[in-house]
Amino acid sequence: MVNFKDLGLVNTREMFKKAINGGYAIPAFNFNNMEQMQAIIIASANTKSPVILQVSKGARQYANQTLLRYMAEGAVAYAKELGWEHPQIVLHLDHGDSFELCKSCVDMGFSSVMIDGSSLPYEENIALTKKVVDYAHKYDVTVEAELGVLAGVEDDVVAEESHYTKPEEVIDFSQRSGCDSLAISIGTSHGAYKFKPEQCTRDPKTGKLVPPPLAFDVLHEVEKKLPGFPIVLHGSSSVPQEYVDLIDKYGGNLPNAVGIPEEQLREASKSAVCKINIDSDSRLAYTAGVRETLALHPDYFDPRQYGKVARNYMIDLYKHKITDVLGSDNKLAK
Ligand SMILES: [Zn+2]
């Protein structure tokens, strides 16, 4: 049994409270390897932003849970080396799908876990979430739950259609499950293809796809029912055109990739939304850097040569998200 506090990590409780009161959101960035982790820590340290390092089920399969846990411990030490005196870094399990998985992460030193029972019938979702909460809270680990279904593909999480969260359920759900934060469905979606072209309109000037707006009415209803309660948005990549263009220019093919416009995420950040998940954008920045470097330098075969470019693209992306979209820069507790 390893407690997250011994690793220098923090849970989400205090940072969410401050984020809601301050009208900004904490970035939750997924990581699968060293370059992503370095980029997240460098960007967070440079901008003085609290940050959530997320590990999905797919990341655990790809990189090994034990290794990722030690990397997060290393991340805290690395952050200090970068001059970040009291790092506010959360290690969070993204989309836990069973009690056993959540327990295993709590036991390994994660400071926060998500139990995603959103595909279960309502009562079963409550029961499963409560079971995880009862265990996690013994160790002061915070728990994120989900109500409503997001469309899209994220590792093993696949849903054809989205179902908005029903605001009339959120009070009952949060009280009976005891969760610390709630992921809701208001039209965000997993992956780099968040919407089918027929769901979008076309910008007459650029010809680019414009996605349907987020359901702010649902968000505001939820806020009214649960004043001050931390709300989470998944699937909130914006799919920056510059990276899609670079990927396509250098041999890739991502037709009709479309994300959530950043203005809408900026607006959501000012509400009770206090955690915004971004994964696909980092994948795009990474891939753009690798493709570009290898295309321009066919003689390169040292992973550091393209890894460095990819990492720099991700650092720029994370800083931009923190500073221009979520507003979590300069928000470290004294
Ligand atoms: Zn998600």
CATH number at residue 28: 3.20.20.70
Least confident of 150-159, 203-212, 241-250, 315-324: 150-159
Ligand 1 centroid–CA 73 distance in Å is: 23
Residue 334 inside a domain? The answer is no
Give the relative orientation of helices 122-138 and 99-108 as an angle to the nearest 10 degrees.
20
Contact between 33 and 63 (Cβ < 8 Å): yes
Handedness of CA 248, 298, 316, 281 (dihedral sign): positive
pLDDT of residue 160: 61
Ligand 1 centroid–CA 108 distance in Å is: 22
pLDDT at residue 161 tops 80: no
pLDDT of residue 159: 63
- Give the max Cα distance, the chain: 61
Q: Residue 157 — pLDDT band, cuts 50, 70, 90? A: low
Task: Give the rounded distance of the alpha carbon of 48 from its chain centre.
Answer: 18
When divided into structural domains, the chain yields a total of 1
pLDDT of residue 166: 94
User: What are residue 8's phi and psi, to 5 degrees?
Assistant: 85, 10
User: What are residue 258's phi and psi, to 5 degrees?
Assistant: -150, 140
pLDDT of residue 207: 80
Residue 217 inside a domain? The answer is yes
Its domain, for residue 234, covers: 4-326
Least confident of 9-23, 67-81, 195-209, 285-299: 195-209
Residue 333 inside a domain? The answer is no
Ligand 1 centroid–CA 202 distance in Å is: 27
Ligand 1 centroid–CA 182 distance in Å is: 12
Condensed to tens digits (0 to 9), the pLDDT of residues 231-289 reads 999 999 999 999 999 999 999 999 888 899 999 999 999 999 999 999 999 999 999 99
Residue 113 inside a domain? The answer is yes
Q: Mean pLDDT, to the nearest integer, of 211-227? A: 94
Residue 22 inside a domain? The answer is yes
List all residues 6 or more positions away from 65 whose beta carbon is below 8 Å from its beta carbon.
55, 104, 105, 108
Task: Give the rounded distance of the alpha carbon of 14 from its chain centre.
Answer: 18
Q: What is the DSSP annotation of 65-108?
A: HHHHHHHHHHHHHHHHHTT-SS--EEEEEEEE-SHHHHHHHHHH
User: What are residue 153's phi and psi, to 5 degrees?
Assistant: -125, 125
Indicate the pTM of the whole model: 0.95
Ligand 1 centroid–CA 295 distance in Å is: 32
Q: In whole angstroms, what is the distance from residue 65 CA to residue 63 CA?
A: 7
Condensed to tens digits (0 to 9), the pLDDT of residues 74-85 reads 999 999 999 998
Condensed to tens digits (0 to 9), the pLDDT of residues 20-44 reads 999 999 999 999 999 999 999 999 9
Ligand 1 centroid–CA 192 distance in Å is: 13
DSSP state of 169: G
Residue 174 inside a domain? The answer is yes
pLDDT at residue 322 tops 90: yes
Mind telling me the catalytic residues?
94
Q: In whole angstroms, what is the distance from residue 21 CA to residue 15 CA?
A: 10
Residue 331 inside a domain? The answer is no
Task: Give the rounded distance of the alpha carbon of 251 from its chain centre.
Answer: 28
Residue ranges near ligand 1 (ion) with Cβ within 5 Å: 234
pLDDT at residue 208 tops 90: no
pLDDT of residue 76: 96
b/e 116-133 (16+ beta carbons within 10 angstroms → b): bbbeeeeeebbebbbbbb
Q: Residue 194 — pLDDT band, cuts 50, 70, 90? A: confident
List all residues 6 or more positions away from 78 whose beta carbon is below 8 Å from its beta carbon.
38, 41
**Closest to 60 in 3D by CA, of 72, 48, 68, 71:** 68
Q: Mean pLDDT, to the nearest integer, of 54-63? A: 92
Ligand 1 centroid–CA 154 distance in Å is: 7
Contact between 219 and 262 (Cβ < 8 Å): no
Condensed to tens digits (0 to 9), the pLDDT of residues 95-137 reads 999 999 999 999 999 999 999 999 999 999 999 999 999 999 9
Ligand 1 centroid–CA 153 distance in Å is: 9
Q: In whole angstroms, what is the distance from residue 110 CA to residue 5 CA?
A: 9
